[in-house]
Amino acid sequence: MCGIVGYIGDKQALPIVIKGLERLEYRGYDSAGILIYDQRKKEVYFEKQPGRIKNLTRVIDPDTPGTLGIGHTRWATHGQVNKANAHPHYDCQKKIFVVHNGIIENFREIKSSLIQRGHKFSSETDTEVFPHLLEELIKEGLSYEQAIIQSLKKIRGSFAFLIFNKDYPDMIVAARLSSPLILGLGDKEFILASDQTAIGLITNKIVYLNDGDIVFVNKNKYEIKSFLSEDTKNYEGIIDFSSAETEKGRFQNYMIKEIFDEPKAVEDTLRGRLLIEEGDVKLGGLDRVASRLKEIDNILITGCGTAFYAAKLAEYFFEEYAQISTKAEIASELRYKMPVVSEKTLLISVSQSGETADTLAVIKNFKTKGILTIGITNVVGSSIARLVDAGIYSHAGPELAVASTKAFLAQTVDLILLMIYLARQRKINVGEAKEILTELDQIHKKIQETIVDNDQKADSLAEKYLFAKDFLYIGRKYNFPIALEGSLKLKEISYVHAEGLASGEIKHGPIALIEEGFPTIIIAPQDSVYEKTISNLEEIKARKGKIIVITTKGNKSLEKLADDVIYIPETLELLSPLLSIVPLHLFAYYFAKKLGRDVDRPRNLAKSVTVE
């Protein structure tokens, strides 16, 4: 997704904006641009380049003076990846410059009416209509502020804008609707950015901006107005992550660091929330909806990609332990379905970034129906976190690799805690809850053990199977969503196709794929469905397929049947996904690395998909 950064203050803006954009690289992009205003010479300097930020810095004089700057990393939605389409975009007089994250859905009709009034465009983008629209309204006699408000009202879609106008050289104007934007408060300096990883360059004090907010910032003060409603209020907050967590440290890239952080992510997410002796959990974020939660009798859990697989996993254990009818739905599908809901329905949304457009759209839709909404997110103050009625934060720390790894385990843990919370409001007996919580309290050690046991193994298996152009991943019950997540991880960073399947489905068609040498990864810990899954293994073996099996430590019975065996520690069936996913994350990482992929920023992908 696009990243935007703006700085105004007493320092030189160029290095700050560039560093801010580098902090946002993990969001995914294909071109970059920057504008610096030199107050002394009263000149605008701007440059934009396709490709990485280093292509931009290569052509910029590092001593370019100016204490006001805006920058952008573009993830193409409309128009080719080239210099003309990179941001900032400007009006005919090159006075008004804009960077934008989002989509202007009605840009074609606006563009054609502006062309009829003589405006000349230099790009194929939707964004470029905005500076020209501003220019046109100012020409018609509106004040700058009114032109901004009217322009924002004319466009349909989503946006986080930073606007610079040479006629107002001491000010940056920002506006947001459905796309993320945060204001950082420094001492006589301000920074605006798409997310807090860039804000942390200047300050840890932030203002959360609401949909409809317009922010007028100069180096001494900021003012917020809304083009949507009169009575919005803004909350100030403090970013609480240490910058150390956003650096790679001893690791070659963020993805492997974040896999090795999985034990800590789980431990931090559990911290302070287990009441083992009482067989209960403490989830302060749910206090204000506790009585409503007692009444619900059906649950919809939604998310996208990896977050949806955590939701799919929860579908099983909400029904098994809390005995509440539960359905996991892909957010981009749920938006268009007509599920049967009532005042006793609970919508749970899972999202690492808290900014995914499809997931946000579902929440907005369900809120209009008065449905209770709970969010599970990893980013404090994210749009989802502020939209839902109540929430449970994951404490996985910033996840910067595009491929979600540690956040998946943290989300799963949050969902298990929520299941216990709901189950204790209903039928689950204390003994069963205590057993789960006691094991959950120690599971981070078993995750660590799984990493230590399998890091080298995953590396050598990646080498051994590097020939493969396609994989099947199969699992049953709690490990079916793990098969889905494992296959997504492989394909999204290695670009090699992989398909996740419910293992019982293999004989209903996919087994036709099996031929000599075709690799299948089978997730088969010794659990209630183990025997069934081993019969699938034998069906594949009979057709000379290659088999990598994940099973419980000590179970030597598969060594003759499978080509390769990965062992994970014994644990409760409900918790086995927290272990079985770890070697699959490691395998995907090493496989992609051996193919020379950019594992932190895979092609075509964005860390948070804030457009539909």
Active-site positions read 2, 607
Q: Minimal distance in Å, beta carbon 414 to ligand AGP?
A: 12
CB nearer to ligand AGP: pick between 383 and 552: 383
* β-pair type (213-217, 519-523): unpaired
Give whichever of 77 and 356 is closer to ligand AGP, judged by the CB atom: 356
Q: Which residues of 566-587 are buried (b: 16+ CB within 10 A; e: fewer)?
A: bbbbebebbbbbbbbbbbbbbb
d(CA 232, CA 160): 17
Closer of 303 and 569 to ligand AGP (Cβ): 303
Choice between 152 and 350, CB closer to ligand AGP: 350
DSSP state of 25: G
Quote the least distance from Cβ 398 to ligand AGP, whole Å: 12
Cβ 17 to ligand AGP shortest distance, Å: 25
Closer to ligand AGP at the Cβ: 88 or 303?
A: 303
Q: Which residue is nearest to ligand AGP (CB)?
A: 305
C-beta neighbour count of 41 within 10 angstroms: 10
| DSSP sequence for 488-524 | HHHHHHH--EEEEEEGGGGGGTGGGG--TT-EEEEE-
Pick from 333, 251, 260: nearest CA to 300: 333
CB 501 to ligand AGP: min, Å:
18
CB 337 to ligand AGP: min, Å:
19
Nearer residue to ligand AGP within complex by CB, 200 or 303: 303
Rounded to 5, what percent of the chain is helix, strand, coil?
A: 40, 25, 35
User: Which residue in 397, 535, 424 sits closest to 474, CA to CA?
Assistant: 535
Note the residues at the interface with ligand AGP (CB under 6 A).
Answer: 303-307, 351-353, 356, 359, 402-404, 492, 608-609
* Residue 353: CB minimum distance to ligand AGP, A: 3
Nearer to ligand AGP, 103 or 402 (CB): 402
Pick the closest to residue 226 from 166, 175, 296 (CA basis): 175
Separation CA 216–CA 230 (nearest Å):
16
Phi, psi (degrees; rounded to nearest 5) at 362:
-65, -45
Strand pairing report for 213-217 and 172-177: antiparallel
Q: C-beta of 402: minimal distance to ligand AGP in Å?
A: 5
Which phi and psi (to 5°) does residue 445 adopt?
Answer: -70, -35
